[in-house]
C-alpha cells in the first residue's frame, strides 16, 4: 500500500546545488566546456533577437521594433526571443549577449530543470536518493538532449517542476509570500516557454488543479472548504495576470499581423510528431540519431529517454496499487503521449481539443508525458526504499523484460549488418590506417549505422541494468545513485554530438558575432543590395548576416520563426522588389544626397529632405498598425505602399519627416508588469530575510 503523499518545503543545500552543477557540467561537457557550440536553431533562430535586445538597450534604444529581420518585426511580439522574460533583461543589461552568455543561459536552464525536479520530489516526501535520481533523469532526459537547439523548449521545461512545487507551497502552506512566489514562477514559465508548451501547460495545470481539489476533498471531506481552496488560486491568478499584462497586450497586438497567428490550415500541416517507433529511445536513446526512415520524424523529436532505473520502476509501478496522485500522473502521461503522436491523433488535436490546432509540432508535448512518467516511476522507487521491499519475483520479471528487449536489439543489429553490409567496422578497418585520431572520430560519427548503435548501446545497457539489479538487491542506494548518474551521463555524452553541438567552438562563433558593428549605428543610405553583403556569413552557424550587420533591408528572404503577413508581399517573387533602392527613397527622385538623417533609433527615424515637386517617400519597413508619421511636426498619413512598406506623401519644398512606432499602450502595460514584479520580489525578499534573521 502506498503511503499518502505529504507536501512540505525543504531548502536546497549547497551540496545538492553542487551535485547538480557538477552533473550538468559533466553530462553536457562538450557544451559546458565551450569547446563546441549549440548548433542549428539555437544560434540561427533564437540568438539573433537576444543579441539585438542586448545591443539596443546598451545603446539607449529600447527594442520595441527590430528593423533588421526581413524589413522589421515588433520584437515585443516575438514569442521565441524571451522578450518578456526577466532573465533575458538581466543578461542583456549586465553581461550582454554573446556566444558565451547565450550558452551559459542554456546551462542555467538545464541546471534549474534538474534541481527543480529534485525539489519537487522532496516536496512529495521522496527520499534524497529518489530525488537525486529523478532530478538527474530529468536533467539528462531524452527531451533535453534532443532539444538543446530549441532554446525556449528547454527554458519552458526548466520551470515546469518549479511551477508544480510552487503550487504545492500555495495549497499546503498558504501565505502571501508563497502566493506571490508561485505567481512569479508561473510567469517565468509563461515568459520563457515556447507557445506550444504554454498551450500544453494550460491543459496540464488545469488537470493538476482538479486532481488536487479531489485529493484534498477526499483526505478531509468535513474540513475541506471550497471557498478557501478557490481563494488560494485567486491569490496567484490576480498577481499573475498583472505580471503577464505586458505580454498579453504585446502578443494580442501581433497575432492578427503574423503568419502563424491563425489555426493551422489543415490537419496535414502538423509536422514532427513523436512517432511510436521512437519508444525505442526508452532503452536505446542513441539509436534515434540514425534511421530517419524508421523513426519518420525529425531527429529532435525522437528521444524520450528517462534512464534505465526509472524505466524499470515504471514497469513495476504499472502493476502496483496506485493513489490518486499516481493515477493522475499515469493518466496525464498517457494523454500527452497520445496527443504527441502523429496519424489519427492529429484529428484529435485539430478538431476536438481547443488551442491544440495552433501547435505545428505536436512532438513537443512529449515533455509533459515524460515529466509525469518520471514522477510516477519515482513513486515506485520510493516505495521500494521506504517500505524496505525485497527484490521479489515481480522485480525479477521487470529486469528480465528489459534484458530481453536489449538482447533482441543486439540480434536485430547483427542481422541488419549481415543483410545490409552497413557497419562502421567496415569503414574504420578500410580507412583508419591512413587517418589521424580526429579524422577517425569524424568517420565514426558520420558512418556509424543504426544497426551498429543497436548492438553497441544494448551491450552497455545490459551492463548497467545488471549493476542496478545488484544495487537494489543489496540495498546499496549510494551505489545505485552512482550507477544511475554514470548511465545518464554516458547516454547524454553519446547523443550530444549528433543532436546538440556543432563542430565549431563557442569562441569561433563569438569571433563571427564580434564582426557585427557595435551598438546601433545609423544605417547606410545605399542601395540595399550594396549595403548588405548577403553572401557574407549567409549560411553560417549563426544564420543570416542580415540579422547582425545592422543595416536595414535584405535582397532575399531569410527564415526566422516570426514572420509578418506583409513580409510575404515583399518577397513574393523571392527577391524584395526595392532591393535596388536604399531603405529611404523618393519615388520620383534618385538623388539620395538630398535625404539627411537627423536621428536614428530602432523605433524611429527623423530626416530632412528637399523636393523639387510633390513626391512620395518610401520607408522600407514592414507595414504595422503602430507606425506613425509626422511632417514638419504635424501628423501625416501613412500610406501602405504596395501593401508592404510604409510611405507618406510629401509636398514640394523643405520637409522634416519622422517615422516612429507608437508603443504607448504596450509600454504602459510593460511598466505595470515590471512594477508588479518589483513589488512581489521585494516583498518575498523582505519576508525571507526577516524569517532568516535571529530572533
In a domain, 616, yes or no: yes
Q: Specify which residues 606 forms β-bridges with.
A: 599, 658
486 shares a domain with 555: no
630 shares a domain with 577: yes
In a domain, 269, yes or no: yes
Closest listed residue to residue 522, CA positions, set 584, 608, 601, 607: 601
In a domain, 70, yes or no: yes
In a domain, 262, yes or no: yes
List, for the chain, all residue ranges whose pLDDT scores fall below the cut of 70.
1-10, 222, 426-445, 531-539, 590-593, 692-695
Task: Please report the DSSP string for 122-172 in residue order.
Answer: HHTT--HHHHHHHHHHHHT-HHHHHTTT-HHHHHHHHHHHHHHHHHHHHHH
pTM of the model: 0.93
Q: Specify which residues 352 forms β-bridges with.
A: none
145 shares a domain with 184: yes
User: What Cα–Cα distance (Å) separates residue 517 from each residue in 67, 546, 601?
Assistant: 15, 12, 15
327 shares a domain with 260: yes
Q: Specify which residues 501 forms β-bridges with.
A: 38
269 shares a domain with 141: yes
Task: Please report the DSSP string for 458-511 in residue order.
Answer: HHHHHHHHHHHHHHHHHT-HHHHHHHHHHHHHHHHHHHHHHHTB-SS-HHHHHH
| List of residues 6+ apart from 553 with CB closer than 8 A | 71, 528, 531, 532, 576, 579, 583, 620
C-alpha to C-alpha distance for 435 and 462, rounded to whole angstroms: 32
| List of residues 6+ apart from 190 with CB closer than 8 A | 198, 201, 244, 247
563 shares a domain with 481: no
User: Which value, in Å, is the radius of gyration of the alpha carbons in the chain?
Assistant: 28
In a domain, 127, yes or no: yes
Closest listed residue to residue 187, CA positions, set 120, 253, 116, 238: 238
C-alpha to C-alpha distance for 153 and 139, rounded to whole angstroms: 13
C-alpha to C-alpha distance for 472 and 384, rounded to whole angstroms: 9
Domain holding 57, by residue range, is 14-388+475-499
C-alpha to C-alpha distance for 204 and 336, rounded to whole angstroms: 9
Please give the grid coordinates belonging to residue 373. Answer: 512518467
491 shares a domain with 531: no
Dihedral sign (CA 534, 540, 545, 547): positive
Is residue 319 within 8 A of residue 392, CB to CB? The reply is: no
Is residue 107 within 8 A of residue 269, CB to CB? The reply is: no
635 shares a domain with 492: no
Dihedral sign (CA 199, 202, 205, 208): negative
553 shares a domain with 485: no
Query: Domains in the chain: how many in total?
Result: 2
pLDDT at 526: 87
Closest listed residue to residue 124, CA positions, set 4, 205, 215: 4
Task: Please report the DSSP string for 639-682 in residue order.
Answer: EEETTTEEEEEE-SEEEEEEEEE--HHHHHHHHHHHHHHHHHHH
In a domain, 185, yes or no: yes
624, HSE (Cβ side, Cα atoms, 13 Å): 29
CB atoms within 10 A of CB 242: 19
What phi and psi, each to the nearest 5 degrees, are found at residue 222?
-75, -35
In a domain, 679, yes or no: no
Rounded to the nearest 10 degrees, what angle do helices 47-57 and 86-93 cross at?
Answer: 50
pLDDT at 351: 84
48 shares a domain with 139: yes
In a domain, 440, yes or no: no
632 shares a domain with 492: no
Is residue 372 within 8 A of residue 332, CB to CB? The reply is: yes
Please give the grid coordinates belonging to residue 596. Answer: 539627411
Closest listed residue to residue 102, CA positions, set 158, 25, 39, 59: 39
C-alpha to C-alpha distance for 213 and 219, rounded to whole angstroms: 10
266 shares a domain with 163: yes
Amino acid at each position: 500500500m502506498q503511503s499518502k503523499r505529504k507536501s512540505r518545503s525543504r531548502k536546497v543545500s549547497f551540496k545538492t546545488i553542487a551535485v547538480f552543477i557538477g552533473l550538468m557540467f559533466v553530462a553536457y561537457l562538450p557544451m559546458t566546456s565551450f569547446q563546441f557550440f549549440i548548433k542549428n536553431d539555437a544560434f540561427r533562430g533564437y540568438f539573433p533577437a537576444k543579441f539585438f535586445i542586448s545591443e539596443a538597450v546598451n545603446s539607449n534604444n529600447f527594442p520595441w521594433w527590430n528593423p533588421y529581420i526581413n524589413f522589421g518585426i515588433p520584437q515585443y511580439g516575438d514569442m521565441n526571443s524571451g522578450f518578456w522574460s526577466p532573465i533575458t533583461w538581466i543578461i542583456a543589461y549586465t553581461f550582454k549577449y554573446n556566444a558565451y552568455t547565450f550558452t551559459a543561459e542554456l546551462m542555467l536552464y538545464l541546471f534549474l530543470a534538474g534541481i527543480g525536479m529534485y525539489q519537487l520530489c522532496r516536496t512529495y516526501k521522496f527520499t534524497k536518493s529518489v530525488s537525486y535520481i529523478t532530478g538527474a533523469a530529468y536533467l539528462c532526459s531524452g527531451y533535453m538532449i534532443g532539444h538543446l537547439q530549441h532554446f525556449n523548449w528547454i527554458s519552458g521545461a526548466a520551470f515546469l517542476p518549479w511551477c508544480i512545487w510552487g503550487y504545492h507551497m500555495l495549497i499546503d502552506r498558504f501565505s502571501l509570500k508563497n502566493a506571490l512566489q508561485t505567481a512569479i514562477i508561473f510567469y517565468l514559465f509563461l515568459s520563457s516557454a515556447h507557445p506550444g508548451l504554454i498551450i500544453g501547460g494550460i491543459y496540464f495545470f488545469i488537470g493538476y488543479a482538479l486532481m488536487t481539489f479531489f485529493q484534498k476533498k477526499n483526505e478531509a471531506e468535513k474540513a475541506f472548504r471550497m471557498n478557501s481552496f478557490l481563494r488560494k488560486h485567486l491569490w496567484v491568478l490576480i498577481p499573475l495576470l498583472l505580471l503577464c499584462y505586458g505580454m498579453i497586450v504585446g502578443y494580442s497586438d501581433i497575432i492578427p499581423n503574423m503568419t502563424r497567428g491563425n489555426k493551422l490550415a489543415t490537419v496535414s500541416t502538423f509536422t514532427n510528431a513523436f512517432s511510436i517507433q521512437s519508444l525505442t529511445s526508452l532503452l536505446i536513446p542513441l539509436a534515434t540519431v540514425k534511421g530517419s526512415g524508421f523513426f519518420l520524424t525529425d531527429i529532435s523529436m525522437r528521444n524520450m529517454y528517462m534512464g534505465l532505473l526509472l524505466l524499470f520502476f515504471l514497469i513495476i509501478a504499472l502493476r502496483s496499487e496506485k493513489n490518486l496522485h499516481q493515477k493522475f500522473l499515469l493518466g496525464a502521461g498517457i494523454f500527452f503521449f497520445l496527443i504527441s503522436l502523429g496519424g489519427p491523433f492529429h484529428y484529435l488535436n485539430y478538431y476536438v481539443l481547443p488551442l491544440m490546432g495552433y501547435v505545428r509540432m505536436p512532438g513537443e508535448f512529449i515533455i509533459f508525458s515524460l515529466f509525469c512518467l518520471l514522477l510516477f516511476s519515482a513513486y515506485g522507487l520510493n516505495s521500494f526504499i521506504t517500505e524496505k521491499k525485497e527484490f521479489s519475483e515481480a522485480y525479477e520479471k521487470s529486469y528480465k523484460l528489459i534484458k530481453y528487449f536489449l538482447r533482441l536489439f543486439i540480434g536485430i543489429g547483427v542481422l541488419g549488418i549481415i543483410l545490409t553490409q552497413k557497419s562502421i567496422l567496415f569503414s574504420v578497418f578500410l580507412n583508419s590506417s591512413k587517418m589521424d585520431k580526429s579524422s577517425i572520430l569524424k568517420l565514426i560519427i558520420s558512418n556509424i549505422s543504426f544497426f551498429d548503435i543497436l548492438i553497441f548501446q544494448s551491450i552497455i545497457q545490459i551492463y548497467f541494468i545488471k549493476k542496478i539489479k545488484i544495487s537494489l538487491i543489496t540495498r546499496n542506494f549510494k551505489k545505485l545513485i552512482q550507477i544511475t548518474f554514470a548511465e545518464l551521463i554516458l547516454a547524454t555524452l553519446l547523443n550530444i554530438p549528433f543532436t546538440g553541438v556543432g563542430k565549431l567552438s563557442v569562441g569561433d562563433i563569438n569571433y563571427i558575432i564580434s564582426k557585427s558593428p557595435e551598438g546601433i549605428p545609423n544605417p547606410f543610405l545605399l542601395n540595399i543590395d550594396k549595403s548588405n553583403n548577403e553572401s557574407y556569413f549567409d549560411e553560417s552557424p549563426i544564420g543570416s548576416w542580415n540579422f547582425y550587420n545592422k543595416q536595414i533591408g535584405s535582397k532575399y528572404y531569410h527564415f526566422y520563426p516570426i514572420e509578418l503577413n506583409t513580409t510575404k508581399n515583399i518577397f513574393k517573387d523571392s527577391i524584395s522588389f526595392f532591393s535596388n533602392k536604399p531603405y529611404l527613397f523618393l519615388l520620383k527622385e534618385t538623388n539620395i544626397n538630398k535625404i539627411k538623417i537627423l536621428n536614428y533609433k530602432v523605433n524611429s527615424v527623423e530626416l530632412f529632405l528637399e523636393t523639387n515637386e510633390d513626391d512620395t517617400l518610401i520607408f522600407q519597413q514592414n507595414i504595422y498598425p503602430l507606425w506613425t508619421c509626422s511632417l514638419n511636426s504635424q501628423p501625416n498619413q501613412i500610406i501602405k505602399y504596395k501593401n508592404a512598406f510604409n510611405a507618406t506623401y510629401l509636398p514640394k519644398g523643405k520637409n522634416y519627416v519622422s517615422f516612429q512606432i507608437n508603443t504607448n499602450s504596450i509600454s504602459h502595460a510593460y511598466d505595470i508588469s515590471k512594477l508588479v514584479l518589483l513589488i512581489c520580489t521585494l516583498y518575498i525578499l523582505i519576508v525571507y530575510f526577516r524569517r532568516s534573521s535571529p530572533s
